[in-house]
Amino acid sequence: MSPHIQQTLVEARAALDALITNDTTCRAIDEAGNLLATLFENGGRVFSCGNGGSMCDAMHFAEELSGRYRGNRRALAAVAISDAGYMSCVANDYGYEHVFSRYLEAHARQGDVLVAISTSGTSGNVLAAVRVAQQIGMKVIGLSGRPGAMLSQLADIDICTPGGQFADRVQELHIKVIHILIESVERRLFPENYAPG
């Protein structure tokens, strides 16, 4: 067996162990889950955005909420900013930095929530979305991988999951966080889906 296989799994386990023992980040995850549950109780919407693999995570987050996670329940208002036609239009007319922020200008309202995902915490178009979200009166949950990056400084709730030297470890932790957030929402709004038996 190639040695890099076990080494990769060991690195992933070490990153997860570091997250498990990080009380600050775990409390931020709990706070974000409560914010999202309250949002849905009040009829609000969550928007998510990111680039590359982070866009895939943003899409996964939205589809699990608006579709189905573990059990049947009503759909929740969650949208990933990921429409290719829209994004190519705005990128062509205004520049790629505005592809997320302009969408929020069109669709988001005060009281909604933005989940902004950037492994580096420095993606210009994600930060532009955060600034517009705050101007609208939205709360921002930042999901990043570098402590002290601009996304961490701007977000109302900072969930930073340092995973090591490369973005892939950070992304692996991000999907764990995303699943925990969805489960937190479901446990509060749909407790019957988690009843024993």
pLDDT at 11 over 80: yes
Region 104-121 average pLDDT: 97
Classify 138 as helix, strand or coil.
coil
What is the Cα–Cα distance from 102 to 90, expressed in whole angstroms? 8
Structure tokens at 68: 């189905």
The pLDDT tens digits of the residues spanning 168-190 come to: 899 999 999 999 999 999 999 99
pLDDT at 89 over 90: yes
The pLDDT tens digits of the residues spanning 64-79 come to: 999 999 999 999 999 9
CA dihedral of residues 106, 107, 112, 117 (deg, nearest 10): -80
What is the Cα–Cα distance from 169 to 47, expressed in whole angstroms? 24
pLDDT at 116 over 90: yes
End-to-end Cα spacing for the chain: 41
C-alpha distances (whole Å) from 1 to each of 4, 5, 6, 22, 135 are: 9, 8, 9, 33, 53
Q: What is the pTM of this model?
A: 0.96
CATH of domain 14-188: 3.40.50.10490
